[in-house]
Structure 1
Amino acid sequence: MPQIASLQPHPDRLLPADPETRAIARRLYDAVRESPIISPHGHVDPRLLAENLSFSDPASLLVTPDHYVTRMLHANGVPLQELGVGQDRLTEAQSRRAWRHLCSHWPAFRGTPVRYWFDSELSDIFGVTRRPSEDNADFIYDQIAACLTKDEFRPRALFEQFGIEVLATTDDPADDLSAHEALAADPTWNARVIPTFRPDRYLEPAQAGWNDNVTLLGEVSGIDVTDYTGYIAALEGRRRYFIDHGATSADHSHLDFRAEPLPDNEAARIYRAARSGRAREAEATAFRRHMLLEMARMSAEDGLVMTLHPGVHRNHHTPTFERFGVDTGHDIPVQVELTRALQPLLERYGTHPGFHLVLFTLDETVFSREIAPLSGFYPSVYAGAPWWFLDAPEAIRRYRSAVTETAGFGRTSGFIDDTRAFCSIPARHDMSRRLDSGYLAHLVAEHRIDEDEATETAIQLVADNPRNVFKL
Structure 2
Amino acid sequence: MKPFLDDNFLLQSSIAEELYHNYAKDLPIIDYHNHLPPQEVAENKKFKNITEIWLQGDHYKWRAMRANGIPEEYITGQASDRDKFRQWSETVPYTLRNPLYHWTHLELQRYFGVHDLLGPDTADNIFDRATSMLQDEQMRVHGLLEQMKVEVICTTDDPIDSLEYHQAYNEKPGNFAMYPAFRPDKAMSPEIPEVFNTYVEKLAAASNSDINTFQHYLDALKSRHDFFAAQGCCVSDHGLSHLYADDYTATEIAAIFDQVRSGKTLNTDQLNKFKSAMLVQFAEWDHEKNWVQQFHVGAFRNTNTGALQKLGPDTGFDSIGDYRQGDGLVKFLGKMAEKDQLGKTILYNLNAADNDLFAAMAGNFNDGSIAGKMQYGSAWWFHDQKDGMTKQINSLSNIGLISRFVGMLTDSRSFLSFPRHEYFRRLLCNIFAEDVVNGELPNDTKWIGKIIQDICYYNAKAYFPFPKK
Q: TM > 0.5 between the two?
A: yes
Per-residue CA deviation, residues 416-436 of structure 1 (Å, 9 max, x unaligned), is 2100111111x1000000011
TM superposition shift of 1:302: 2.4
Aligned partner of 1:163 among 130, 133, 149: 149
Identity percentage of aligned residues: 28
Residues 166 and 265 from structure 1, CA distance in 2 versus in 1: closer, same or farther, beyond 3 angstroms? same
Distance 1:322 1:166 in 2: 36
Q: Which residue of 1 aligns with 2:61?
A: 69
TM superposition shift of 1:316: 1.0
Find out whether 1:324 has 2:327 as its counterpart: no
Paired residues of 1:172 and 1:199 also in contact (CA < 8 A): yes
TM superposition shift of 1:285: 3.0
| Unaligned segments of structure 1, at least 5 residues | 1-6, 17-21, 88-92
Aligned partner of 2:19 among 23, 28, 33: 28
Find out whether 1:239 has 2:221 as its counterpart: no
- One-letter amino acid matched to 2:63: R
Aligned partner of 1:302 among 289, 303, 312: 289
TM superposition shift of 1:8: 6.1
Q: How does 1:177-196 map to 2 (within 5 A)?
A: 177-186=163-172, 189-196=174-181
Q: Which residue of 2 aligns with 1:405?
A: 398
1:253 aligned counterpart, secondary structure: strand
- One-letter amino acid matched to 1:148: L
Distance 2:244 2:187 in 1: 17
Q: Which residue of 2 aligns with 1:44?
A: 36
Q: Which residue of 2 aligns with 1:4?
A: none
- One-letter amino acid matched to 2:210: D
Q: Which residue of 1 aligns with 2:101?
A: 115
TM superposition shift of 1:342: 2.1
Distance 1:324 1:315 in 2: 11
1:103 aligned counterpart, secondary structure: helix
TM superposition shift of 1:259: 2.1
Find out whether 1:367 has 2:377 as its counterpart: no
Residues 456 and 203 from structure 1, CA distance in 2 versus in 1: closer, same or farther, beyond 3 angstroms? same
- One-letter amino acid matched to 2:274: F
Paired residues of 2:183 and 2:238 also in contact (CA < 8 A): yes
Per-residue CA deviation, residues 350-370 of structure 1 (Å, 9 max, x unaligned), is 3737711110011112221x2
Per-residue CA deviation, residues 1-29 of structure 1 (Å, 9 max, x unaligned), is xxxxxx9622221123xxxxx11111111
Q: How does 1:374-413 map to 2 (within 5 A)?
A: 374-379=361-366, 380-413=373-406
Residues 345 and 233 from structure 1, CA distance in 2 versus in 1: closer, same or farther, beyond 3 angstroms? same
Q: How does 1:278-289 map to 2 (within 5 A)?
A: 278-282=264-268, 283-289=270-276
Distance 2:288 2:449 in 1: 36
Distance 1:181 1:69 in 2: 32
Paired residues of 2:181 and 2:236 also in contact (CA < 8 A): yes
- One-letter amino acid matched to 2:19: L
Distance 1:209 1:40 in 2: 30
Distance 2:131 2:330 in 1: 53
Distance 1:79 1:290 in 2: 44
Q: Which residue of 2 aligns with 1:90?
A: none
Q: How does 1:132-143 map to 2 (within 5 A)?
A: 132-143=118-129
Q: Which residue of 2 aligns with 1:464?
A: 458
Distance 1:75 1:277 in 2: 41
Q: Which residue of 2 aligns with 1:201?
A: 186
Q: Which residue of 1 aligns with 2:413?
A: 420
Distance 1:236 1:345 in 2: 20
Distance 1:385 1:81 in 2: 34
TM superposition shift of 1:193: 0.5
Distance 2:456 2:323 in 1: 28
Distance 1:411 1:339 in 2: 23
TM superposition shift of 1:453: 2.3
- One-letter amino acid matched to 2:258: R
- One-letter amino acid matched to 2:465: K
- One-letter amino acid matched to 1:358: I
Paired residues of 2:50 and 2:130 also in contact (CA < 8 A): yes
Q: Which residue of 2 aligns with 1:441?
A: 433
- One-letter amino acid matched to 2:70: V
Distance 1:293 1:338 in 2: 17
Residues 216 and 417 from structure 1, CA distance in 2 versus in 1: closer, same or farther, beyond 3 angstroms? same
Residues 410 and 269 from structure 1, CA distance in 2 versus in 1: closer, same or farther, beyond 3 angstroms? farther
- One-letter amino acid matched to 1:24: I
Paired residues of 1:54 and 1:153 also in contact (CA < 8 A): yes
Find out whether 1:128 has 2:120 as its counterpart: no
Distance 1:75 1:350 in 2: 45
1:10 aligned counterpart, secondary structure: coil
Distance 2:117 2:86 in 1: 13
1:135 aligned counterpart, secondary structure: coil
Distance 1:336 1:454 in 2: 37
Residues 75 and 289 from structure 1, CA distance in 2 versus in 1: closer, same or farther, beyond 3 angstroms? farther
Q: Which residue of 1 aligns with 2:336?
A: 349
Q: Which residue of 1 aligns with 2:5?
A: 9
When the two structures are superposed, what TM-score results if normalisation uses the length of structure 2?
0.92
Distance 1:301 1:52 in 2: 34
When the two structures are superposed, what TM-score results if normalisation uses the length of structure 1?
0.92
Distance 1:342 1:362 in 2: 14
- One-letter amino acid matched to 1:237: S
- One-letter amino acid matched to 1:423: L
Distance 1:124 1:132 in 2: 14
Distance 1:341 1:353 in 2: 17
Paired residues of 2:244 and 2:275 also in contact (CA < 8 A): no
Paired residues of 1:83 and 1:97 also in contact (CA < 8 A): no
Distance 1:267 1:284 in 2: 10
- One-letter amino acid matched to 1:295: F
Per-residue CA deviation, residues 295-344 of structure 1 (Å, 9 max, x unaligned), is 21221222221110121111111121122211111111112333321223
Residues 79 and 175 from structure 1, CA distance in 2 versus in 1: closer, same or farther, beyond 3 angstroms? same
TM superposition shift of 1:161: 0.9
2:302 aligned counterpart, secondary structure: coil
Aligned partner of 2:159 among 164, 170, 173: 173
Paired residues of 1:56 and 1:148 also in contact (CA < 8 A): yes
Distance 1:54 1:435 in 2: 32
1:166 aligned counterpart, secondary structure: strand
Aligned partner of 1:311 among 298, 303, 314: 298
Across the aligned residues of Structure 1 and Structure 2, the Cα RMSD in angstroms comes to 1.8
